[in-house]
């Protein structure tokens, strides 16, 4: 079964606005990762947050992790048309394999 | 640096035919993975190889076999293709099984079984 679920399934915003995507997961994790997938392409790793971390930043990306609620959020600030893509959370559990959620499709309108 | 290379990019098979999807990485990673991606399902792990010489089943292994040919190459074989195996297949590699860094993905193989 899927480890993670993203919310919303689809999000459409204007360029310059912030985009927030949420991820919930089911079991204890070692870390949680976010990936981007442009249409028809492979996945690209964006950021990794360990289970003992609460917040992490990378450029315009901000990730939070709440292990008590088994949830994470990805914030993209000042969005650009080039940010249009699907975004997936993925978790590494004790088995040390990566399990993906169902993804959020983000559309940034110029 | 090519990263992870998958071949072919596209393939159409008839039900019952067999084929092998090839994957090679040039990052000296120990671990390699095969995922399938279906609409609305995210990515699901088919098989993985934690290190050269080992392979293990993932979430959805039925109908597939794998071979870790050497440290660089990890192939996925469909012995008798079924329409339910129509999907996009991704190969990935990792140096530390995702414990400290992300996976590197190939660009995918789009397979249609008719």
How many Å separate Cα A82 from the centre of its chain?
16
Tokens standing for residue B35: 């995922």
CB A88 within 8 A of CB A100: yes
pLDDT band at A1 (very low <50, low <70, confident <90, very high): very low
**Cβ–Cβ pairs < 8 A, chains A and B:** 68
What is the arithmetic mean of pLDDT over A31-48?
95
Strand partners, B35: B45, B90
* In chain A, beta strands by DSSP E: 4-7, 10-14, 19-25, 31-37, 43-50, 55-58, 61-66, 71-76, 85-92, 98-100, 104-109
Contact call for B103 and A45, based on CB within 8 A: yes
pLDDT in tens, B17-63: 999 999 999 999 999 999 999 987 789 999 999 999 999 999 999 99
pLDDT at site A97: 84
CB-CB under 8 Å, B90 with A98: no
Residue B1 pLDDT: 62
What pLDDT, on a 0 to 100 scale, did the predictor assign at position B63?
A: 96
CA-closest candidate to residue B89, choices B16, B14, B8, B2? B8
| Per-residue model confidence (pLDDT) at position B98 | 83
Chain mean pLDDT for chain A: 93
Q: Is the CB of residue B52 less than 8 Å from the CB of residue B70?
A: yes
- Smallest Cβ distance to A101: which of B42, B94, B100? B42
Cis peptide before B8 (omega within 30 of 0): yes
Strand partners, A90: A33, A100
Q: How many CA atoms lie within 13 A of B2 on its CB side?
A: 10
Taking only the tens place, the pLDDT of each residue in A55-100 is 999 999 999 999 999 999 999 999 999 999 999 999 998 777 889 9
Residue A15 predicted with pLDDT over 50: yes
Contact status of B47 with chain A (Cβ, < 8 Å): no
- Chain B segment 49-88 residues within 8 A of A by beta carbon are 50, 58-59
| pLDDT score at A40 | 87
Contacts of B92 in chain A (CB under 8 A): 43, 98
The answer to whether B22 and B74 have CB atoms below 8 angstroms apart is: no
Rounded to a whole number of angstroms, the distance from the CA of A2 to the nearest CA of chain B is: 8
Q: How confident is the model at residue A3 (pLDDT cuts 50, 70, 90)?
A: low
DSSP 8-class letter at A50: E
Q: Which residues of A touch B98 (CB under 8 A)?
A: 30-31, 33, 92, 96-98
Q: How far is Cα B33 from Cα B7, in angstroms, rounded to an integer?
A: 15
What residue in B sits closest to A43 (Cα-Cα)? B105
Question: Mutating which of A92, A95, A102, A104 best tests the B interface, going by the most B Cβ atoms within 10 A?
Answer: A92
Q: Which one is predicted more confidently, B101 or A21?
A: A21
Note the pLDDT tens digit of each residue in B54-105.
999 999 999 999 999 999 999 999 999 999 999 999 999 998 888 888 999 9
């Amino acid at each position: 079964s899927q480890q993670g679920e993203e919310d919303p399934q689809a999000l459409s915003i204007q360029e310059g606005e912030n985009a927030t995507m949420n991820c919930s997961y089911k079991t204890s994790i070692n870390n949680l990762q976010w990936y981007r997938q442009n249409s028809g392409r492979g996945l690209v790793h964006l950021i990794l947050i360990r289970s003992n971390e609460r917040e992490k930043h990378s450029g315009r990306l901000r990730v939070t992790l709440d292990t008590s609620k088994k949830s994470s959020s990805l914030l993209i600030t000042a969005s650009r048309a080039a940010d249009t893509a699907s975004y997936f959370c993925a978790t590494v559990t004790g088995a040390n394999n990566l399990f993906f959620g169902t993804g959020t499709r983000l559309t940034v309108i110029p | 640096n090519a990263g992870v290379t998958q071949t072919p990019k596209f393939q159409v098979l008839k039900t019952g035919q067999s084929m092998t999807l090839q994957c090679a990485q040039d990052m000296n990673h120990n671990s390699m993975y095969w995922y399938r991606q279906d609409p609305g399902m995210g990515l699901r792990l088919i098989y993985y190889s934690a290190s050269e010489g080992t392979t293990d089943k993932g979430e959805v292994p039925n109908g597939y076999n794998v071979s870790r040919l050497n440290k660089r190459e990890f192939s996925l074989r469909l012995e008798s293709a079924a329409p339910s195996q129509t999907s996009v297949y991704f190969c990935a590699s990792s140096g530390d099984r995702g414990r400290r860094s992300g996976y590197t993905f190939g660009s995918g193989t789009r397979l249609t079984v008719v």
